[in-house]
Structure 1
């Protein structure tokens, strides 16, 4: 409610064209004319400011409410985008090296000879700071790659005691991966030692899963049954079931299937068979399942395929599922002896007139296989 000063003989005019009806104004908004002792009694009344508009229906009110909410969300998103654009990440003064200096060191490392020796000398003693820098971490990776093992080993040792922090860093985790890729197992054992007891947690980390994948790819066969790396791999794969269904953990289990020992592959296959339906319909689980159908020993492949095809109706259910359809596609790529007589049993119990296109496609593919 607003008080408007009204003089005798003056009529308020509201231009509807210039000022449309505000959404926040109530429909019965009125303006009160003040009462003056000197003015006629006729001015002491409630004077409408705007003509009333028709009462909106419930559906129209809901639509307007949704439109206003959508507008507010769009404005909030725009504000967040502006705030993010204004935030620039700058390296810490303790570890910032500068783009020009990084380019100079990289050129010296690639040149070889005395230039490389000078660059390695400049890096020595600063590996930790360089590793946590978004630019200089690439210089450290290049240095470890081009230097001889005897020269690279002291550089690697500078990171001892910093592995958990490196796992958390979007820059330093790449340095750890490079160390695992190019250095022998004896030089990377300290990485596994510092991660022992944190295997499952590391596998579920967006950067930690990469480090564990590199360990499995490059040192699973060298680890044997002794040492910190073997213990860490065993610790991680003991949690295969929950990791199969994790957005980052499933990458580690897949590497375990592809590069692990026969015993480790068998253990993962057993875990999948116990959770076969869940794995067939889960985004991450289907990735692990497909890897197992391709890389596990033949007896485990047959066991997994048998678990999937144990009931004729399972295949039709999976073919209708977005994730299960990829598992069915992998099954159709397997050798005939891996499927055994199960495929023929499914054909006998299925209908070629299914309403789902994926199911009909699977049915035709099975017919061509038998």
Structure 2
């Protein structure tokens, strides 16, 4: 069966039922059997992450796959965190990358967002206002190591007044306040009340 499936991996992964077949294969077959299937998936990562069904297959690999396969997906996302985070389907994959990447890979993803120029057109500010990308930023805040969370705070702080005007921006502030209040940091509470918005779940 599997030799016949391999040439159809991309087609199946972008099909509402076929994507489930691929996920079941990845779950129940041996590493030797799934190797060619995974190789096919890696050849089409860019298209799959943006597909309404294919993104679930990529997420499955990130959640349950081997470190080397997760690493290849993270590598495919690096350099494109901003545009992929703004995509309805790919944003789910970016969030899973942030969650399931190794510590060093996660650090690179967060640094990519923080490395762009500051200001109203910065990548981070754009993401915080976006209906999809804001969840990626929330996840970064949640899983970041303390030094990187401080970096995120440093980048976000100048935008606090304007973020309060946006629904998605309030989600970000609520997430940051949740983590900062644990350490008694009240920086985000100055100049206004609590953001008072619950986080949405993907």
Q: TM-score, normalised to structure 2's length?
A: 0.82
Per-residue deviation, 1:180: 2.2
| Corresponding residue number in structure 1 for 2:91 | 250
- Shifted more, 252-261 versus 174-183: the winner is 174-183
SS at match of 1:250: helix
Q: Does 1:332 align with 2:180?
A: no
Residues 325/210 of structure 1: CA separation in 2 closer, same or farther (3 Å cut) = same
The separation in 1 between residues aligned to 2:153 and 2:30, in whole angstroms, is 38
| Corresponding residue number in structure 2 for 1:343 | 187
1:315 touches 1:328 (CA, 8 Å); kept in 2?
yes
SS at match of 1:252: helix
Per-residue deviation, 1:202: 1.2
Q: Does 1:361 align with 2:194?
A: yes
| Corresponding residue number in structure 2 for 1:180 | 26
**Aligned Cα RMSD in Å?**
2.5
The separation in 1 between residues aligned to 2:43 and 2:4, in whole angstroms, is 22
Q: Deviations over 1:208-255 (max 9, x none)?
A: 111110000011xx333xxx6643442234432211111111111111
2:174 touches 2:194 (CA, 8 Å); kept in 1?
no
Kindly indicate which of the two structures has a greater share of residues assigned to helix.
2
Q: How does 1:1-370 map to 2 (within 5 A)?
A: 155-219=1-65, 222-224=66-68, 230-273=71-114, 274=116, 275-309=123-157, 311=158, 314-336=159-181, 343=187, 347=190, 350=191, 359-362=192-195
Residues 217/180 of structure 1: CA separation in 2 closer, same or farther (3 Å cut) = same
2:70 touches 2:101 (CA, 8 Å); kept in 1?
no
Residues 338/175 of structure 1: CA separation in 2 closer, same or farther (3 Å cut) = farther
The separation in 2 between residues aligned to 1:185 and 1:286, in whole angstroms, is 36
1:306 touches 1:339 (CA, 8 Å); kept in 2?
no
Considering only CA atoms, is the larger Rg found in Structure 1 or Structure 2? 1
The separation in 2 between residues aligned to 1:339 and 1:285, in whole angstroms, is 28
Residues 180/260 of structure 1: CA separation in 2 closer, same or farther (3 Å cut) = same
The separation in 2 between residues aligned to 1:285 and 1:256, in whole angstroms, is 13
Per-residue deviation, 1:337: 7.2
- Consecutive unaligned residues of structure 1, counting only runs of 5 or more, are 1-154, 351-358, 364-370
1:289 touches 1:327 (CA, 8 Å); kept in 2?
yes
Instruction: Give the paired residue count.
Output: 189
